[in-house]
Structure 1
Amino acid sequence: MIKIIKITGISDTYPEEIEGTYEWYAAKEPGHDFCDLYEAEYIYEKTGFFKGLNYHLIHYPDGEVHSPFQLQENVYVDKPVWNDGVLNFLVVDFRAQLIKITAYTPIMRKLETIAELALSEVEDCYNLMLETTPLTLGRSGHDGFYEIVWPEKKKIAIGKNETILFRDGDRLYFSEWYEDPDYHETVVVRDIHTGKIIEKSKGYLRRLPNNVYWKT
């Protein structure tokens, strides 16, 4: 027989898996349609107003809800990334024109801002996101480059079909897709300092807890 646990504190929202942990799920603020960060930026630039987007956290197996943020107008809180016991959120405040990188420690229920940047430091918010490990703020634009915005600044030339997967020390892992004629992907590993390809192989990578990745 199945066991249904009623989640209290939020409702009418779908819990999404956070890669790298079995313990935590992210749940978007109820009643708000999803849009990505770039779309939110576009809405604000065109209208001067964005209604806001926020995520809550749900702990497994008890279903306890953690709400590090409250929904705010003109503020976009992105889905968190798991970083060895800490959940890192990318927060963009369009009115203040600020990018904030925050860290939430569940065991202490502590939220802190670990970095703050002017929004003008990036051309736009297209594919702006956090990656691990170590924690890195990066951006993939339309110009054939992967740009590291924080904690260092660097631009690396990549293929037109490459998408960042994650960072592992001095290695950047990308997924490159093809249709010739069937769809398939390859994993491309690049040196973070030179951008040169270290490895390239067919297949897919899936992040699991405890720094384990499945390669298929």
Structure 2
Amino acid sequence: MKQIDLNGITNLQPVCGTHEWYWSMDYTGGDLYEAQELFQKGDINSSHLYIIHYPDGKVYDILSIEGHYFGVPVYDNGALAILEVDFIKKVIEISQIQYECNQLINIVKIAEISLCSVKDCYNLRLHTSPLMLTRQSNDNDFEIIWPEQINFSIGNRESFRFREENKLYFSVWHEYPEYKEEVVVRMLYDGSILETLSGDIYIMPNGEKWNLK
């Protein structure tokens, strides 16, 4: 049995889009809205992120400092990307993890965004592809914050899944007259609905999309 030392953290999640990288985090599990509340209350002063390579189990400790909290990492275009918010300096940071032969060699910051540019950190997270920072509010507003600035309204049961060129894919569920799931495909720039697919879309470890229906 392989022994993986994560300093007592016992959750392990796959990085979406790859079969060889996993992540683990204490306290918030990547929820930056919860992290914002913890910081404001003074309960926890930072979060801790581990990146784990499969199958060798090599653990990389992504160090954080006071006031820094991590979001959920993603895999895009052959690279790992991490989201971090510094609540002291009030900035959002997006970085790429560079590695060779499964060895982490460097972390490069690719974007820094003012925290004041978002209402709050509710559903603030990275998505693909291309790599982008999004936010989905509890009043049905969807935003792309970086690298573009786009905002439009969506349905109250829609959740953003991924982007393909100028199309955005959202999952939605209905209760009446009977429970069903659908995928709503919207135009990037104005949110207009292009088509609706039955079922749901599952993103495989290699990034391939499967329409389950």
- Tell me the TM-score normalized by structure 1: 0.89
Equivalent positions of 1:1-216 (< 5 A) are 4-8=1-5, 10-29=7-26, 32=27, 34=29, 36-45=31-40, 47-48=41-42, 50-67=44-61, 69-107=62-100, 109-180=105-176, 182-216=178-212
Q: Distance in 1 between matches of 2:112 and 2:91?
A: 7
Q: Distance in 2 between matches of 1:6 and 1:48?
A: 33
Q: Residues 104-156 of structure 1, C-alpha deviation per residue, up to 9 Å, x if partnerless?
A: 12225210110001100001110111110111111111232211111111112
Structure 1: which amino acid aligns with 2:4? I
Counterpart residue identity of residue 38, structure 2: I
After TM superposition, give the deviation of residue 14 of structure 1 in Å: 2.2
Offset, 1:10: 4.7
Deviates further, 124-133 or 143-152: 143-152
Q: CA deviation at 1:51?
A: 2.4
CA distance in 2, matches of 1:105, 1:10: 24
Note the C-alpha offset of 1:61: 0.9
Question: Percent identity, aligned pairs only?
Answer: 38
User: What's the Cα RMSD here?
Assistant: 1.9
Contact 2:17 2:207 in 1 (8 A): yes
Matched AA of 2:186: R
Query: Using a 3 Å threshold, how does the CA distance of structure 1 residues 127 and 96 change in structure 2: closer, same or farther?
Result: same
TM-score normalised by length of structure 2? 0.90
Q: How many residues align?
A: 209
Distance 1:215 1:161 in 2: 19
Q: CA deviation at 1:48?
A: 4.9
SS at match of 1:26: strand
What per-residue deviation string (whole Å, max 9, x for no partner) do you get for residues 2-43 of structure 1? Answer: xx22224655422211221110110114xx464721112123
Q: Check conservation: 2:72, 2:125, Cα contact below 8 A.
A: no
Change (3 A) 1:35 1:208: closer
CA contact (8 A) 2:72 2:126 kept: no
Structure 2, unpaired ranges of 5+: none
Q: Report if the CA contact (8 A) 1:178-1:185 is conserved.
A: yes
| Deviation readout 1:30-75 (Å, 9 max, x if unpaired) | xx46472111212333x356321122111111111122x2132321
